[in-house]
Structure 1
Amino acid sequence: MPTTRETILAALHARLQTLAATVLRDEVLPERIPPAGLIILRDGQPGEPEVTLSPLHYHYQHGAELEVVVQAAKERATAFDTLIAAIGTTLESDRTLGGLCDWVEAEAPASVDMPVEGAASLKAAVITLNLHYTTTGPLA
C-alpha cells in the first residue's frame, strides 16, 4: 500500500499528464525538448510537520517542484506563458487532487532564458508546489 505522500505525488503526476506538454517524474532533462514543452515533477521534501497529539496526526506542507522547459525558435515566451497558464488552470480545477490532499498551491515562477549552442534557446522555470496534507505517521 503506497504512502499518503506517494499517493498524492502520483495523483499530481496523473493530473499534469492531461496537459499537451510531456510530463516526467524525477527524470533527467532529456537532450531534446518536445515541441509542446516539458514538465518534470520533482518529489521535493515534506519538511518538518506540525503534530497534533489527540488523535496523533502529522500535518505536512510538502514542497514539490515542477521544472518547466520550452524550446522554440519563435514565440518562445508565448509558448512558455501558455504552458504556465495551463499548469495553473489544471491545478486550480481541483486543488485537493480528488480529496487526497488538503490544498495544492503554486508559487510564481521565475523564468530564465538559457542559450543552447547550435539550437533554439530554452526558456525554463522551477515552480514550487506546496502540497498540504495530513498523515497518521511520518512513514504513512
Structure 2
Amino acid sequence: MGTKREAILAAVETLLQSAVPLSSVSRDEVKADEIDPAGTFVVFDGDPGEPEIDLSPLRYTWTHRIPVSVGARGGDPRGLLDTVLKSVGVAISANRTLGGLCEWLDAEAPSPDPLEAPGTEVHRWTDLIIIATYATTSPLG
C-alpha cells in the first residue's frame, strides 16, 4: 500500500477526470502542445509543507498545496476555461474529503496565463492550486 500523499494525489486526478469526463488528466508532465477539446489537466506533486505535529497520539497534519495546470482551446477558450473550472469547483464541493482520505479539500482562485495562439487555434492555460488537508502517523506519509 502506498502513502496517503500518493493516494490523495491519485484521488485528485480521479476527481478532475470525473469533473470533466472528456478531458485528459496527466501527472508531472510538461504542458502539452495539444489541448483536448474538453480541456487538459496536468497535476503536479506540489509541496505538502511543514506539518503540524501532535504528540499524543502522534499525528502529522499536512496542508498540501497541489498545483494543477488547466488548459482550454478552441473558439472561446475563456468560456471553456471558465466552464471547466466551474465543474472542478462543483466536484470539490461535492467531495471535500476525497472519500475520507483527507479532512478538507479546497482550491485557491486560479491565475490565468495570457491567451496564446500557436498556429491558428487560440488556447489558454491557468494555474490552479488544490489544497488537501490530511493527517498521517509518519512524516513519510
TM-score range, shorter chain: over 0.9
Q: Aligned partner of 1:58: which letter?
A: Y
In structure 1, the partner of 2:54 is: 52
Residue 31 (1) aligns with residue 33 (2): yes
Query: Between Structure 1 and Structure 2, which shows a larger proportion of strand residues?
Result: 1
| SS of 1:17 mapped into structure 2 | helix
Residue 128 of structure 1, CA deviation: 0.7
Residue 17 (1) aligns with residue 17 (2): yes
Residue 137 (1) aligns with residue 132 (2): no
Whether the aligned pair in 1 keeps the contact of 2:31 and 2:69 (CA below 8 Å) is no
Report the count of equivalent residues: 139
In structure 1, the partner of 2:73 is: 71
Whether the aligned pair in 2 keeps the contact of 1:113 and 1:121 (CA below 8 Å) is no
Whether the aligned pair in 2 keeps the contact of 1:113 and 1:122 (CA below 8 Å) is no
Q: Aligned partner of 1:114: which letter?
A: L
Residue 5 of structure 1, CA deviation: 0.5
CA, structure 1 residues 84+26, in 2 after alignment: closer, same or farther (shift >3 Å)? same
Q: Aligned partner of 1:96: which letter?
A: T
Residue 113 of structure 1, CA deviation: 2.1
| SS of 1:23 mapped into structure 2 | strand
In structure 2, the partner of 1:87 is: 88
Measured in 2, the distance between the counterparts of 1:97 and 1:21 equals 20
Q: Aligned partner of 2:34: which letter?
A: R
Deviations 1:95-124 (A, max 9, x none): 100001000010001212232342222211
Residue 27 of structure 1, CA deviation: 1.5
| SS of 1:98 mapped into structure 2 | helix
Could you list the runs of 5+ residues in structure 1 that have no partner in the other structure? none
Deviations 1:2-60 (A, max 9, x none): 00101111111112121232111112222211111101111101000010101111000
Query: Between Structure 1 and Structure 2, which shows a larger proportion of helix residues?
Result: 2
TM-score normalized by the length of structure 2? 0.93
Percent pairwise identity: 39
Could you list the runs of 5+ residues in structure 2 that have no partner in the other structure? none
Measured in 1, the distance between the counterparts of 2:125 and 2:118 equals 16
Alignment RMSD, CA only? 1.2
User: 4+ residue runs of structure 1 moved beyond 3 angstroms?
Assistant: none
CA, structure 1 residues 124+117, in 2 after alignment: closer, same or farther (shift >3 Å)? closer
